[in-house]
Amino acid sequence: MNFLPSLLGALLVFIIGLIVSSVLDRLVERLVHYLKLDALLRRLGVEAFVHRANMKLDAGVFLGRVVYWFFILVFTLAASEILGFAALSAFLGTVLMYIPQVLVAILILLVTLIVANFLRGLVRASVMSANIGHAKALGTVTWWTVVIFGLSIALDQVGVAMGIINTLITGVIAMLALAGGLAFGLGGREHASRWLSKLEGEMTHHQG
């Protein structure tokens, strides 16, 4: 007899959750479109990565769906509590606690792209003003270095074990710096110049 009122209460909570989630989905989508977040993401180079995954860049739809499913989970958790489903409630609680970490990781990636683009422009301008040459290649190397470190921080934020990968990344960068120093220091400027020209073409192609 006690189960029927609990079931009706859980259904009512879930239906309210569907309505609230749908309304918030539309509000977030319209707000993001009003703020023109897509234009900012295009300037940061996000659209190129999205297109490689055969997807269309639409931050409003994406964030709207994130909000939708977040509140669906919240109201499902509430309904589960009413029904006394302890195992389901524990699982949904864990998922809800994980979602903010994912959002923080996404924010870290966006900040990383902003910093990477700024430093790439700064390096290119500095190299060009010094008449060293290969400003584009050095700027691209700077961009990828910042992005790789930002990606490692974002993955660590969502709980991915990055200790070994961070060590490998640090080792590769250290070897590149050492090799570059030896090449220039031992008179290998011509060879280093050819290598930078090749690197410039390959990395620029992969970037965009």
Q: pLDDT, tens digit, for every residue of 85-96?
A: 888 888 888 888
Banded pLDDT at 69 (limits 50, 70, 90)? very high
Residue with tokens 């524990």: 90
Q: Quick count: other Cβ atoms within 10 Å of Cβ 80? A: 21
pLDDT at 140: 82
Are the C-beta atoms of 49 and 207 separated by less than 8 Å?
no
Does the structure show a pLDDT above 70 at 172? no
pTM over 0.95: no
- Cα-based angle 202, 203, 208 (whole degrees, multiple of 5): 105
Tokens of 189: 């400027």
- The rounded radius of gyration (Å) of the Cα atoms in the chain is 24
pLDDT recorded at residue 96: 86
Mean pLDDT of 16-35: 93
Instruction: Give kind and range of the element (H or E) at residue 203.
Output: helix 189-207
Do 83 and 21 touch, CB atoms closer than 8 A? no
